[in-house]
């Protein structure tokens, strides 16, 4: 089933007004409750996703670092957070990010590798020893037309990224457009990892006398200690949060936000606190 169905799905769920794309919401500052070692299955998955994603991106898990793991981490974590019905019909951010060739970390990103999906003409990609830049890279995927711009930079012990994907689609008299924006930075040593990442989504749909908008932000922040012998997180905290804004079909505003904060007290020993 094509994800073009998101156009009618959102149009049926949201009716609002305005022009252009909505502004992704700011993540709130949560007050966290008492941490507990009794994690739900989703929280357990999120903790594992955080540890593996941070380890993959930086190489502190003993593997060769893969910078492309950093931009996708926020969206991977979002799949473990309680699901918003408003987001289920949106296009997959994975399709856009996995279409990009991204830098490897070997020799401070002196080599670059492709993730396997074509962005069209390679003329849109330029690279140096430590940076790859995408300039109006376009392709069709997941039922949408995409245009991507941005860059990933890698240096010994650090990386940063800022990538935006604009998309559009039309079906049965309904047109939709939107954007994803991924940005963040990560810094590490043999024993520490810190940084933050964010994925922002904005969508507008028009047609059949209706107008719909939705915006969402998912973000994470890491301040972690690493056991350099066993290559595991041994202390510190990792926060993941998401906020969603929209307008209900009766004019009622829809606003959702959730945050989890994980803390490690040794390798494999993690607690979670829920934000409110």
pLDDT in tens, 34-74: 999 999 999 999 999 999 999 998 989 888 778 878 888 99
Least confident of 5-14, 18-27, 117-126, 267-276: 5-14
Strands laid side by side in the 174-188 sheet: 125-127, 131-141, 144-155, 158-171, 174-188, 192-207, 210-227, 232-247, 253-265, 270-274
Residue pLDDT, tens place only, 107-142: 222 222 232 223 445 678 887 878 888 888 887 766
CA angle 244, 246, 252 (to 5 degrees): 125
Which of 90, 124, 95, 113 lies closest to 3 in space, CA to CA?
90
104 has pLDDT over 90: no
- Locate tokens 């990442």: which residue? 197
pTM: predicted TM-score of the whole model, two decimal places: 0.82
pLDDT greater than 60 at residue 16: no
Neighbours of 19 (CB within 10 A): 6
CB 115 within 8 A of CB 102: yes
Residues in the chain: 276
What whole-number distance in Å separates Cα of residue 129 and Cα of residue 72?
Answer: 22
pLDDT of 15 > 80? The answer is no
* Domain coordinates in residue numbering, the chain: 5-274
State the CB neighbour count (10 A cutoff) for residue 124.
Answer: 17
Q: Are 195 and 186 in contact (CB under 8 A)?
A: yes
């Amino acid at each position: 089933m094509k994800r073009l169905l998101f156009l009618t799905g959102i149009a049926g769920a949201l009716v609002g007004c305005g022009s252009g794309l909505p502004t992704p919401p700011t993540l709130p500052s949560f007050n966290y409750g008492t941490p507990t070692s009794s994690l739900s299955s989703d929280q357990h998955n999120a903790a594992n996703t955080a540890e593996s994603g941070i380890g993959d991106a930086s190489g502190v898990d003993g593997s060769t670092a893969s910078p492309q793991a950093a931009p996708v981490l926020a969206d991977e974590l979002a799949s473990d957070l309680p699901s918003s019905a408003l987001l289920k019909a949106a296009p997959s951010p994975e399709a856009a990010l996995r279409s990009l060739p991204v830098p490897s970390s070997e020799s401070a990103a002196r080599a670059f590798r492709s993730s396997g999906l074509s962005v069209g003409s390679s003329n849109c990609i330029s690279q140096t020893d430590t940076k790859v830049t995408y300039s109006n890279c376009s392709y069709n995927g997941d039922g949408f037309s995409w245009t991507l711009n941005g860059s990933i930079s890698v240096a010994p012990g650090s990386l940063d990224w800022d990538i935006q994907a604009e998309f559009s689609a039309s079906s049965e008299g309904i047109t939709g457009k939107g954007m994803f924006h991924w940005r963040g930075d990560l810094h590490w040593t043999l024993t520490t990892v810190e940084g933050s990442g964010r994925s922002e989504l904005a969508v507008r749909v028009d047609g059949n006398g209706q107008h719909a908008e939705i915006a969402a932000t998912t973000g994470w922040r890491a301040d972690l200690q690493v056991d350099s012998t066993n290559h595991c997180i041994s202390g510190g905290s990792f926060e993941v949060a998401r906020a969603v804004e929209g307008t209900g079909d009766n004019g009622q505003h829809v606003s959702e936000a959730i945050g989890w904060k994980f803390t490690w007290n040794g390798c494999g020993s993690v607690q979670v606190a829920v934000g409110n």
